[in-house]
Amino acid sequence: MNHGVTDDKLTYKDAGVDTKEGERAVKLMKDHVKRTFDKGVLTGLGSFGSLYLPDLTGMEAPVLVAGSDGVGTKLMLAFAMDKHDTVGQDCVAMCVNDVLCQGAKPLFFQDYIATGYVNAEKVAGIVKGVADGCVLGRCSLVGGETAEMPGLYSDGEYDMAGFCVGIVDKKRIIDGSTIKEGDKIIGIESSGVHSNGFSLVRKVFFDKAGLSPFDTIPELDRPVGEVLLEPTRIYTVQVQALQEKVNIKGMVHITGGGFYENIPRVMPSGLGAKIQKNSWTRPDIFGAIMKYGNIDEKEMFKTFNMGIGLIFVVSPEDVEKTMDTLLTVGEDPTVIGEVALGEGVNIW
């Protein structure tokens, strides 16, 4: 017995993997990738490993800082709307903003895209978004991987993740260790929900309220899906401008866990934060989430950024210079609170 063995010749394409389509995707994405390159990039696309030579001028003890993340279930909204050219920026933002919080200069980024079946145009669109993010983040897209895995992902679905490597002189690392009672907390705006809390967002709008991503509601000036797909802001320009002028004691990227989990990550033992919740204007999307989901305000602050994407902690004497510097790079910063005795976050 031959146990089902036949003389038919199988190919990788018969198993669902089209290497030619993958090659076409690489060709389509090359121009997007090249516009992110700086003089530190020593290899192009196609090498086994990516080479990068950082500029160490003036650094006494260079320290590498790495951050990795993905886009989460925001991708399901991209699938539903068949719009794939912005989620790449989300992926870059989630990594770059974290690296910035340690005081590092972003150097390079790599992405990983896994899908059931490669569609060259779709993959190139995703990478375009990654390249857009790298340009905003002032880092080079030095490589990545597109994995075609039929049977693991349904047709039309994909997942993506990435990582960023940055560098900082050891003496300039920002870790919150010098934060004191009375220091001021300054926030700058998010572009909306960013890339966290989408499991709850989808449940609110598409399950509980029965909306489609293309529906409009009175609270928003665009279809719900368009507002939600607004890409995560990247704060490299703002942070680097401020580093030249002010001693930044701590930085907080408001991601998953909202205010209550992220702010304590930079606070020394025995210190917490008092946040005045009405000191800034929240984007309308958060009011809509609260209304359509009947969600308690505290739960909102535990889950979302509520309109504040990045927080700086500075000494009281540096507040004016901080505000002025951020204004010069197009921000509208707000003093949203201060450091206080007692651990945790008090929002009032």
Put the strands of the sheet holding 62-70 in their side by side order: 62-70, 158-169, 105-115, 140-148
How many domains would you assign to the chain?
A: 2
Asked if the structure places residue 6 within a domain, the reply is: no
| pTM of the predicted structure, to 2 decimals | 0.94
Taking Cα atoms as reference points, which of 335, 338, 186, 312 lies closest to residue 243? Answer: 312
pLDDT at residue 10, as a whole number: 61
Asked if the structure places residue 4 within a domain, the reply is: no
Q: Classify 257 in phi/psi space as left (phi over 0), alpha (psi -120 to 50) or beta.
A: left
Q: Say yes or no: 159 and 259 in one domain.
A: no
Q: Say yes or no: 125 and 247 in one domain.
A: no
Q: Which of 117, 151, 172 is the last residue of a domain?
A: 172
> What range defines the domain where residue 158 resides?
13-172
- Which CATH number fits the domain that encloses residue 135? 3.30.1330.10
pLDDT digits (tens, 9 = 90+) for 102-131: 999 999 999 999 999 999 999 999 999 999
- Which CATH number fits the domain that encloses residue 336? 3.90.650.10
Q: Say yes or no: 265 and 207 in one domain.
A: yes
Report whether 309 contacts 188 (CB < 8 A): yes
pLDDT digits (tens, 9 = 90+) for 140-173: 999 999 999 998 998 889 999 999 999 999 999 9
pLDDT digits (tens, 9 = 90+) for 272-295: 999 999 999 999 999 999 999 999
Asked if the structure places residue 238 within a domain, the reply is: yes
Token pair listed for 54: 């950082």
Token pair listed for 257: 């866990």
Asked if the structure places residue 239 within a domain, the reply is: yes
Q: How far is CA 89 from the centre of its chain?
A: 7
User: What integer best gives the mean pLDDT of the chain?
Assistant: 94
Confidence band for 61, pLDDT divided at 50, 70 and 90: very high
Asked if the structure places residue 179 within a domain, the reply is: no
Which run of H or of E encompasses 59?
none
